[in-house]
Amino acid sequence: MSKLRLSQYPTKGTITIADGEELQVNVAGTFCRVRSADQDFLIHFDNGSSAHVGLNDALNFDKEQAFNNLMIVNDSGAALTFQLDIGYGSVETNSLAINGTVKTAGGAARAHDVDTVGVAAVQLMAQNNSRTGWFIYNNGTAPIFVGSDNTITAANGTPIPVGGGMGGDDTDEIWAISGTAGHDVRHWEAS
């Protein structure tokens, strides 16, 4: 008969134990992961290992160190509500370590501006290597046309209709022009 690979304890929902209370769990395995917990707590395994654990912590053992049961000790100072994953094999912690720069949504500073676009090319945004995103909205009464330099024309630019918008994440200059004068253009860039 093969051993169950993964069990949840308790099998449905969570269990709560009082501060200072101990609870023996008679489920065997080679790993134990804290699926949910509102406090850190202590686990003693019958293989001689112990650990102070919290949410998403995972403990993995070799086959030779498999455990048959474990003891939960609530030393948190408050009631403990938890659920565990216990099984054979190994489990990861669902955590991510990043070494380097991370760009996050909503974390960038946004610079908002309004320009008037007409029959001469207007620079809406300068080249910006720190830019992570931009958006242009045509709040005028005629289409505008955008491009990446001052050679933009109505014939070679990308059109943005009245009430339309366009965005991107490039760092180039952004210019606009229209076939008629005096169009309100709103834009922002994040960096």
Task: Give strand pairing partners of 41.
Answer: 53
* Cβ atoms 122, 116 nearer than 8 A: yes
Predicted confidence at residue 2, as pLDDT, reads 43
Say what the alpha-carbon torsion angle 135, 139, 141, 142 is, to the nearest 10 degrees.
0
Preceding amide of 10 cis, omega within 30: yes
Predicted confidence at residue 43, as pLDDT, reads 95
Predicted confidence at residue 87, as pLDDT, reads 86
Burial profile 48-69: b = 16 or more Cβ within 10 angstroms, e = fewer:
eeeeebeeebbbebeeeebbee
The length of the chain is: 191
Quote the DSSP letter at residue 3.
P
d(CA 186, CA 184): 7
Predicted confidence at residue 108, as pLDDT, reads 65
* Sheet bearing 133-138, strands edge to edge: 110-117, 183-190, 133-138, 165-168
Predicted confidence at residue 13, as pLDDT, reads 77
Q: Identity (one letter) of the amino acid at 78?
A: A
Residue from 90, 92, 71, 83 nearest 29 by CA? 90
Count CB atoms within 10 A of the CB of residue 33.
23
Q: Which two tokens stand for residue 51?
A: 């650990």
What domains appear along the chain, each with residue ranges and CATH number? Answer: 6-87 (2.60.120.10), 110-190 (2.60.120.770)
The ranges of the chain with pLDDT < 50 are 1-4
Predicted confidence at residue 163, as pLDDT, reads 87
d(CA 61, CA 47): 10
